[in-house]
Amino acid sequence: MGDRWYQEAVVYCLDVDTYADSDGDGVGDFQGLIGRLDYLARLGVTCLWLNPIHPSPNQDDGYDATDFYNVDPRLGTLGDFAELLHQAQNRGIRVIIDLVVNHTSDQHPWFQSARSSPDSPYRDWYVWADHEPDDRHQGMVFPGEQHETWTYDRTAKAWYYHRFYKFQPDLNIENPKVRAEIKKITSFWLQLGVSGFRMDAVPFIIERTEPGNPNSPKDFDFLTDLRQHVQWRRGDAVLLAEANVEPEELPVYFGDGSGSGNRIHMLFDFMLNGRLMLALAREDPETIIDALRDTPKLPTGGQWATFLRNHDEIDLSRLTADQRNDVLAKFGPDENMQLYGRGIRRRLAPMLGNDRRHLELAYALQFSLRGTPVLRYGEEIGMGEDLALDGRDAIRTPMQWSYRENAGFSTAEPEKLIRPVIDKGEFGYQQVNVTAQRKDPRSLLGWFERMIRTLREAPEVGSGSTAHIDVPMPPGVLAHRADGRTGTMVFLHNLGTEDVEVDLSTLAPEADLPIDVLTDRNYEEVGKLDRLKLAGHGYRWIRLCRGQGL
């Protein structure tokens, strides 16, 4: 492994409360997760990203915290959390947690104090205006569910700013005390043993909000400062940020101190996510090729985090209207599948019609593209969504462990579960569960295990450079390569449904005993690379050569 662990990591994202319930109260907990660490180790996961774990009224699935220095008692105690860190470390698995400091819950004692009086020591911890700001109805993140970004608080007798729901008042980053507190929060969790943070809503954290100005300036220096702090407290800690901004803005988030990244280590590649969905919908790799070509050059140590699904809707807002319509028509045709006028609230397996070959192709493609792959829990067994649930809850149903009642997630009475398990149709737990797939090497779970092991033997993907192989290709086929210290990998993915033959003989001079290391089926030997067969929705991961002396 190279120097920087995050570049060769496989990140697995989960909500503790829907993963595994150890005490039968209907809510998943740390002890339940500890019991599943061996499963995650076998899958090949090297880093867990836990969605918010703090005490919270849970009006936004924990993204509304009331205490940054504790854990939600429904999940266990701080002691249980420390035990989780220890047990994960024993298995070589790191843990990162969500850092949600753009806002707090309106129930947070800081906000309760702040609104109670202009003299409260916490008044300036939030963003206030005496008069109704002109941009009150602009900049909402959840259109349809949210109608304003400034709300009048009768107790405070003032307007407060909230980029998200009105129960999530924004913290005031201009206040040095707030900055110091954010650093203290990171120190606390680093000291306990987390390996870093998934930073929520970064463009909004650094917003120097000016009432009436919907495009308030941003303070990037805070990110430099926070990075310094975090790195000093724990040298190998990472910041993985959610910053869904225009591509040309992204480099500023990585920062650049004489060629080396000095702000965020890793950014989610939202642009690639939308383009991947479009490429799958159109069976045409064109937009992925564009993405590989247009990717801004990253400073040393900068890294992308790739994903197909996460805990939110698939955001298609950066695609053109035509492109978005193509994705919606294919993957989310019913209004009920769509959200906020920009996205899809579905999991990948149902979007791809539960077509096993198509699913393998999609995930093989994601994991082979540059960056660190992030996988959402349940995707490895092909779980579905529950569109009867509100908004994003559709994709936040309990993990399906077995054929037992409640999918083996909990022994509670079904009506006590945090959310119902999916128990009907082809995605019901009777059909889709870990136990069934664990004993079947041909299952999707078995495939994920194999694919991830293979990826680990190809560190070029994470820590090397990736490029499109620009030679004539049959329609639908993407050819790309990853080059690094350990050698070169070549990847073929056929997004179309026709069987084809690919000629990569221009690479022959570089080849040294080239072999297939992961394929959708048995193909003839790679040979001279001039007649590579590739089935519809097929893929071939080929090791072209090894690095010198390896």
Residue positions annotated with a catalytic role:
200, 242
Q: Give min distance, CB of 251 to ligand GLC, in A.
A: 21
CA pair distance 200, 63, nearest whole angstrom = 9
**Residue-wise over 20-54: b if at least 16 C-beta within 10 A, else e?**
bbbeeebbbbbbbbbebbebbeebbbbbbbbbbbb
* Contacting residue, 200, 393, 449, 460, with ligand GLC by CB under 6 A: 200
Which 8-state DSSP code applies to residue 510?
Answer: G
CB 501 within 8 A of CB 531: yes
* Contacting residue, 12, 30, 63, 377, with ligand GLC by CB under 6 A: 63
CA pair distance 6, 2, nearest whole angstrom = 10
Nearest residue to 515 via CA among 505, 523, 526, 507: 526
* Contacting residue, 164, 268, 331, 447, with ligand GLC by CB under 6 A: 164
Q: Give min distance, CB of 407 to ligand GLC, in A.
A: 23
| Per-residue mark of binding to ligand GLC, 431-460 (x: CB under 6 A) | ------------------------------
Of all helices (H) and strands (E), which one includes residue 13?
strand 11-14
For ligand GLC, the closer of residues 59 and 435 by Cβ is: 59
Interacting positions 72-101 with ligand GLC (CB under 6 A): 100
CA atoms within 13 Å, Cβ hemisphere of 277: 33
Q: How many residues bind ligand GLC (CB under 6 A)?
A: 9
For ligand GLC, the closer of residues 122 and 164 by Cβ is: 164
CA pair distance 496, 433, nearest whole angstrom = 29
Which residue of the chain is nearest ligand GLC when measured via CB?
A: 63
CB 460 within 8 A of CB 488: yes
If one counts every other C-beta atom within 10 angstroms of the C-beta of residue 118, the result is 12
CA atoms within 13 Å, Cβ hemisphere of 306: 26
For ligand GLC, the closer of residues 60 and 326 by Cβ is: 60
CA pair distance 47, 27, nearest whole angstrom = 23
**Residue-wise over 190-202: b if at least 16 C-beta within 10 A, else e?**
beebbbbbbbbbb
Q: Is 201 in the site for ligand GLC (CB under 6 A)?
A: yes
Q: Is 394 in the site for ligand GLC (CB under 6 A)?
A: no
CA pair distance 41, 223, nearest whole angstrom = 33
For ligand GLC, the closer of residues 60 and 80 by Cβ is: 60
CA pair distance 488, 478, nearest whole angstrom = 17
Q: Is 153 in the site for ligand GLC (CB under 6 A)?
A: no
Q: Give min distance, CB of 147 to ligand GLC, in A.
A: 16
For ligand GLC, the closer of residues 204 and 447 by Cβ is: 204
CB 284 within 8 A of CB 369: no
For ligand GLC, the closer of residues 169 and 496 by Cβ is: 169
Interacting positions 308-367 with ligand GLC (CB under 6 A): 311-312
- Beta strands per DSSP E along 102-250: 128-129, 150-153, 158-161, 196-199, 238-241
* Contacting residue, 8, 60, 106, 483, with ligand GLC by CB under 6 A: 60
Q: Give min distance, CB of 145 to ligand GLC, in A.
A: 10
Q: Give min distance, CB of 396 to ligand GLC, in A.
A: 10
For ligand GLC, the closer of residues 165 and 401 by Cβ is: 165
Q: Give min distance, CB of 58 to ligand GLC, in A.
A: 12
Q: Quick one: how far is CA 476 from the chain centroid?
A: 26
Nearest residue to 519 via CA among 541, 536, 544: 541
**Residue-wise over 316-341: b if at least 16 C-beta within 10 A, else e?**
bebbeeebbebbbebbbeeeebbbbe
For ligand GLC, the closer of residues 200 and 207 by Cβ is: 200
For ligand GLC, the closer of residues 263 and 311 by Cβ is: 311
Enumerate binding residues for ligand GLC (CB under 6 A).
60, 63, 100, 164, 200-201, 242, 311-312
